[in-house]
A and B are shown apart, each in its own frame.
Chain A
Amino acid sequence: MATLTPEAPEAPRSTSGRHPVPPRPAPHPHVVATWAIFIGLLAMCVWSAYDLGINPVTIFERLANGVDFLSRLVPPEFPEPGRLIELTLTTLAIVFLATLFSVVTSVPIAIFAAVNTTTGMVSRQTARIIMIFCRAAPDLVFAIILIRVFGPANGALIGIIAMGLSSIGMVGKLLADNIEDVNRGPSEAIQAAGGARWQWIHSTVIPQILPQIIAHGLHRMDINLRNSVLLGFVGVPGIGAALSTAMNTRQWQLVMGLAIIITVLCIFMELLSGAIRTQLMGRDGSGRRRGILGVIDRIAHNNWVTAPTETHQVQRTRNGAVRTSPQWDAGRIQRFFGWLVLIGLVVAAVWDIQINWQVLTNTVTNFPEVVSRFFPPDGRGLYWDRFFPALVETVQIGFASLLLGLFIALPIGAMAARNVAPTPGIAKFFRIVIVVCRAFPELVLAIILVVILGFNATAGVLALAFGSIGLLSKLVADSLEESDTRVQDAVRASGANRLQTFFAATVRQTAPATIAHILYQLDVNIRAATLLGVLGLGIGFDLLEASTRNRYDILSLIILNILAVVVVLELISMYVRKVVR
């Protein structure tokens, strides 16, 4: 080695000798197809915005002109306190039971859908089809069908089942993913000990996904609370129904008052579910629990219960029996009261909504007859003149609001990510912006915009665009923060500036996640666009019309159309997510 001279030719490295640089391969057909889909979707967005006449100048003009109408909304008027409490409790009871129903039903469906716990191909595909169907149909559609079946006397029950069913799609999908991610070792251990399938699923899979079950449930409760308002427009009791009545009778001040109450409830629910999550999972750096449980923990440390110390002798209770359940330490108190509260809430909620069992049993016997009225679907000659253009308008609202939302949501999302924002202060500021946007229920915003702009597509587009700021920028910020910072450090170490680092290291890493989020947002927006029908826009309006006029054949035709659009979107986004990694 010492004789090495500068002129000595560099020894060929074995790797380069064995592997010559390959020519750049032609792009895979899937990649080409994906680009085509992107360009197609973007074209759809631009065309939709153009066709609906959405452009920033007119929007600002009309907003400025419409602000006068805001005076109609003030001062907000509230229902009397007794009625207000009654409405709130009804809404909360329905939302709680719907969420509970969806979680309890989702767990077995997820077990059948997850590859490691399913019993076979047939049951797996069946479970997946159920989930896709539940995801595809918005809860409003379920509610409209159910209200025809159960009759209007059972509004609360309809709300519970409608929201419950449509939640199964999302909760079940997430839980199935969680089940596929669990540590499979314990399951093998129980199999090796002679445990049957249901035994090892109960003893090893369920305990491992329990935190996720609770987290998804809390998250879904937030969403259901927002959706419950909408269901009020088809006869589900609670604040939504009051809002619907106020809208129909043009009592704008009461509308504003109810809108404020809904917003406050949503914020309260968000805080509550956040607090519960921290209680269940949060321990700070020192391993101490925060909140009430932390207090219990600390009291328990002061000789409330004595920790056993004998390693080779069984623990015994004070009267000498072998101890078979834990001492009343902080953990047991938490579990005990957790269950107690849950059971108490179920009882209270069931008592509150007062299911009309008489009507229920009557209608269940009529069920086949009612269902048969939905078939065959028939547009009564109005399809091409009325329903199809309405459907197109709805889809356009979805696309245009995505485009508008993207322009605002992506920069906000990037700025809210700690590892992208120039200073932590800026990141914190934009995080707060996102939280505030998320807190406003889209429907409330849509109502205010409808008051300002009148019943037209611009109001819908603006409302949905605002909604995508809350969701999309949060998702984008989260995935940016989850990106591998070591790559960013490496690029920065080579002398790149902040912007270069962002595009070279961060964007490419998070591109798959971001694309998935954007597609998800498109999905959300188009679904939400159908729901704007309650405000008199697009296909949703015809849906409600057909429902109130008992036109079952038109109803089923429109529902099939909506399902078709949602399923096509779902297939596209499934395909793109598979290709883009």
Chain B
Amino acid sequence: MAQSMMATDASFTSSEERSIQLRNVTKQFGEVTALNDINIDFAPQKINVLLGLSGSGKSTLLRHINGLHKPTSGEVVTLGTEVHRAGARKLRMLRREVGMIFQHFHLVESMSVLENVCTGKLGSLGGPRLGLFMYPKEVKEQAMEQLARVGLADKAFNRADALSGGQMQRVAIARALIQEPKVLLADEPVAALDPVSSATVMNLIGKIAKEDNLTVVCSLHQVELALEFSDRIIGLRGGELVMDRDASTLSLKEAHEIYSAVAVVTDEEIEQQVPELAGITTEQQS
């Protein structure tokens, strides 16, 4: 009941409030340019997929949205907050409304599943918590509800390292959901999972995004998964934006274009990573 009310509430909020904009964002780590003059408006309440090889700048871009990275130059505006000039306090305020999940789940493995979910609420609780008993009862109840939502209520009091990879990622999703976020960032959420768990996790993200009207920004490197689950595909290559299109109306030919745009490795890229191997791909092709 409470959830359906929330959903209607959310649909009334203007899409403006759920928007994420990047303007001329450039990010350099020392000599390396991770992002080069990126301009994107992410579609509110849709699943936006960032597609690209490793090293293409997907993770860096994601971390700009909630200010884990700050741009070297350019502007990032998330949910009306100017991330590029926000101070620590303002960033924490923003991050309460932005959930994030990671490739390697990032759970504290020696802690119980329920406590791991509770830690998602730390941003709005204030003060350190040294154990499950230090969280307010409402938070623990919310955590239990979110675990039921991702189908792991039975595991609430198990240690996190007793779970499988797919289950851990679902716990991480529950931890993000307890924040009641408006935006969900997912950094390669299924890269460490087998195909079956991958499908479960991606379906769960899709279902939750729809139920809670979330704006999802998800980085992936598998084109098939992107085509299946996304509303919009944004291709990155070497820190540059190479493609941006609506995924709902994609023809097979266009899908192949996506492959060649982001997924086929060139000799130059191999040369950059492993100089000795360059030339092998061309030899094999000839």
Contacts and interface: CB of A to CB of B under 8 A. Distances in A.
Contact of A202 (B105, B130, B151): B130
A328 to B, nearest CB: 11
A313 interface: yes
A327 interface: yes
B140 to A, nearest CB: 4
A207 B131 CA distance: 9
Contacts of A194: 91-96, 122-124, 179
A203 B132 CA distance: 10
Contacts of A204: 108, 119
Contact of A188 (B102, B120, B127, B133): B102
Interface string B102-132: 1011111111101000011111111111101
A423 interface: no
Contacts of B130: 202, 206
B157 A186 contact: no
Interface residues of B, number: 56
Nearest to B104: A185
A193 interface: yes
Interface residues of A, number: 41
A208 B153 contact: no
Contacts of A358: none
Nearest to A324: B140
Given A203-B119, A203-B128, A323-B144, A193 B154 contact: no
Given A190-B119, A310-B153, A210 B276 contact: no
A313 B119 contact: no
A323 B144 CA distance: 8
Contact of B106 (A188, A201, A202): A188
A322 interface: yes
A191 B132 CA distance: 19
A207 B110 contact: yes
Given A188-B68, A195-B123, A314 B153 contact: yes
A308 interface: yes
B210 to A, nearest CB: 18
Given A192-B66, A203-B129, A322 B98 contact: no
A196 B108 contact: no
Contact of A324 (B66, B123, B137, B175): B137
A325 B153 contact: no
Contacts of A202: 128-130
Given A194-B92, A324-B140, A324-B141, A189 B123 contact: no
A510 to B, nearest CB: 30
Contact of B154 (A199, A201, A206, A310): A310
Interface in A293-331: 307-315, 322-327, 329
Contacts of A186: 106-108
Contacts of A190: 119, 122
B152 interface: yes
Contact of A312 (B106, B137, B153): B153
B148 interface: yes
Interface string B69-105: 0000000000000000000000111111011101011
Nearest to B93: A194
Contact of A191 (B95, B105, B147): B95
A190 B115 CA distance: 12
A307 B157 CA distance: 10
B98 A192 contact: yes
A411 to B, nearest CB: 40
A466 interface: no
Contacts of A192: 66, 68, 95, 98, 100, 185
Interface string A69-97: 00000000000000000000000000000
A193 B102 contact: no
A199 B127 contact: yes
A192 to B, nearest CB: 4
A208 B110 contact: yes
Interface in B1-19: none
A15 B274 CA distance: 13
B176 interface: yes
Contacts, number: 135
Interface in A165-188: 183, 185-186, 188
B129 A199 contact: yes
Interface string B140-164: 1100110111011110110000000
Given A193-B99, A208-B108, A325-B133, A308 B140 contact: no
A312 B122 contact: no
A207 B111 contact: yes
A142 interface: no
Contact of A185 (B102, B122, B156): B102
A1 B125 CA distance: 72
B218 to A, nearest CB: 15
A198 interface: yes
A200 interface: yes
Interface in A500-547: none
B154 A308 contact: yes
A327 B127 CA distance: 27
B262 interface: no
A200 B123 CA distance: 10
B119 A327 contact: no
B157 A327 contact: yes
B154 A195 contact: no
A207 B106 CA distance: 13
B94, B100, B157 interface centre (most CB from chain A within 10 Å) = B157
B205 to A, nearest CB: 16
Contact of B100 (A189, A198, A201): A189
Contacts of A327: 157
A396 B126 CA distance: 57
Interface in B246-265: none
B172 interface: yes
B141 A315 contact: no
Interface in A196-249: 196, 198-204, 206-208, 210-211
B183 to A, nearest CB: 11
A172 to B, nearest CB: 20
B231 to A, nearest CB: 23
B138 to A, nearest CB: 9
A315 B128 contact: no
B122, B129, B147, B151 interface centre (most CB from chain A within 10 Å) = B122
29 contacts: A186-B106, A188-B68, A189-B106, A189-B107, A192-B68, A193-B95, A193-B175, A194-B94, A194-B95, A194-B123, A195-B119, A195-B123, A196-B92, A199-B123, A206-B130, A207-B111, A211-B110, A311-B148, A312-B151, A312-B153, A314-B145, A314-B153, A315-B154, A322-B140, A322-B145, A324-B137, A324-B144, A325-B132, A325-B140
Interface of A: 15, 183, 185-186, 188-196, 198-204, 206-208, 210-211, 307-315, 322-327, 329
Interface of B: 66, 68, 91-96, 98-100, 102, 104-112, 114, 119-130, 132-133, 137, 140-141, 144-145, 147-149, 151-154, 156-157, 172, 175-176, 179, 185, 276
The 5 closest A-B pairs by CB, nearest first: A194-B123, A185-B106, A194-B95, A202-B128, A324-B140
